[in-house]
Structures are given as structure tokens and as C-alpha cells.
Amino acid sequence: MKVIRAKSAGFCFGVERAIGIATTCAAGGRCRVYTDGPLIHNRQMMERLAQNGILEIGDYKSEKRIDGELDLSGSSDSVLVFRAHGVSPDRRKYLQSLGMRCKDATCPDVGKIAGIIKMHANKNYTTVIVGDPEHPEVIGLLGYAGNRGYVVKNKENIDALPDIKGDICMVSQSTMFTDDYREISEYFKSRFPNTKVIDTICGATKERQKDVNILAQKGAEAIIVIGGKHSANTVKLAIMARRTGLPCFHIETLNELDLESIGKFKTVGVTAGASTPDFLIDEVCNKLEKL
């Protein structure tokens, strides 16, 4: 079987940076490292990090109190790492109040969005975030809007909004579809003309989405998307792959791959989310090439 691997498959800069920060803090297991919720959205990578003393505590949304999960007996040798998705200002203050050394692994692209929201909030703008209201990135970003922030996911959410007075700043979750964001923002502006729309989709997301179409153009008969089921950018990659009209298989690991179904194709494309490690991608590609 011929395998076409997307150039952008695998870790983005923000994920590599977060793992690098946590790994450096762990110092080969000599230092306890805690992450407030999953550092990145890949279960297999989090399990591998746990073997190096990097422990996930709290919950998916980084909302739960974690006091009881921390061992503060040797707090000078322990580090609390803020996840790649970022946290709200209130959550940051809470984490910093726990008496443990903190390191910020927030993706710089997410940090940039937070800065945009904060700057406009200080100018009395209302903030509207286009994205998933249950995603930790969006939850964290909304905190920078103060009490003047909304999250919308579709046109129905926009229709349900109250009348917003004054200036509005619109941003998106960093992993949104480019076309979807354009469509939603245009619909939003038709109701709220006094809206400043800012493109905050990260470059890695745009590159990944573009590469899905390139796989189809290069002759892939089916597309395999590797990555966590909780990973927003991976789920969106799978949706985009289906939009090409080709069969799509979204898997977390090789064990989930339906070899009987995939075996009928001569050429397949493989891509992966921004938090999917190379060892998972390599396993899938090596298996496919042997079919």
C-alpha cells in the first residue's frame, strides 16, 4: 500500500514547547511536576510523560480545585505547569496561590489571543469568541473578557444573543476552520455591524487543514486522521477529511485501525493532530506500508 504522509502531521510548536517545559522541569524524574488538567490533548503522550514524573491532576476544563491532589511536603522540588491551552486570569491566581513553583506552558498563539481580548476589554469592547464553549482554551480565554464576553459556535447561537451595545471584538478559538470562521463572522456582522473581526486561527491549524486537501489531490483514496478524540484540531481535521468526499478513519492508535476496511485501498493519506506524537504516526504508517 502506498502511504502519503502529510508534511504537517504531528506536534505543532506550541505542543513541543509545552512538553519541553514540563520535561525540563522534571529533570529526568528528580523533580515532581504537576499539570493542571492534561498538558496536551493526547492520552498516549500523557501516559508517556507520567513515566517521567509529569503527573496530570485536576480535570479536563481546569475548573476543579486541586489542593488535595498536591503533595506540598517538598514543594521546593515540585513544579505546577500551566497547560498548553492556557487558563483564565482567575485560575492563574488560584494556581499561583497554592505555594508551589509555577511554569507557564501556554501556547504563544493562545497567549496572543488572550492579549487581544484583554486589550480590547480595557477599551470597553465586548468580546465574542467563536469556538467550543466546553473547550479549555475557550474557557480560559473567556476569563480575559471580564463580564462582557460571549461564546458562539453557530448561527443559532448568534440569533440567541441579546442586543449588544457598543464596540465588539470578535476572535476565534485557535483551531477553528478558516471558512467556517469567515462565514460565522459575516453573519455576526450582519446583525452587529460595529464588530471588529480579528483572525486568530493559528498558522499550524491553517497548514494542517490545507494539507488535508493536498492528500486528496495527490491521489489518496482514503484519509486516516490520528489523534485524541478530545483534541479539537484533530476532530476538525477528521471533519475536513470527510468534506473531501473520501472515506475517513479517525483513530487514536494503531489498535483502532480497521485493517480489513482500509486494505481495499491502494493509496491512503495520513495526517495527525497537533498533539499527536511521531511514534503513533510511525506505527500506523509502517503497518499500512506492509499491507
Q: Which residues are catalytic?
A: 137
- Whole-number Å distance between alpha carbons of 69 and 74: 14
β partners of residue 223: 248, 269
Radius of gyration of the chain (CA): 20
70 by Cβ neighbours in 10 Å (0-12 / 13-18 / 19+) ranks as middle
Half-sphere exposure (Cβ direction) of 218: Cα atoms closer than 13 Å: 18
The C-alpha cell at 214 is: 493536498
Secondary structure E strands in 86-197: 101-104, 126-130, 149-152, 168-172, 195-197
- Whole-number Å distance between alpha carbons of 191 and 135: 26
Identify the helix (H) or strand (E) that includes residue 200: none
Task: Single out the residue of 50, 40, 42 nearest to residue 280, CA to CA.
Answer: 42
Q: Which is it for the CA torsion 270, 275, 278, 281, positive or negative?
A: negative
Strand order in the sheet with 2-5: 2-5, 267-272, 222-226, 248-251
β partners of residue 32: 78
β-pair type (32-36, 54-57): parallel
- Whole-number Å distance between alpha carbons of 225 and 250: 5
- Whole-number Å distance between alpha carbons of 17 and 34: 16
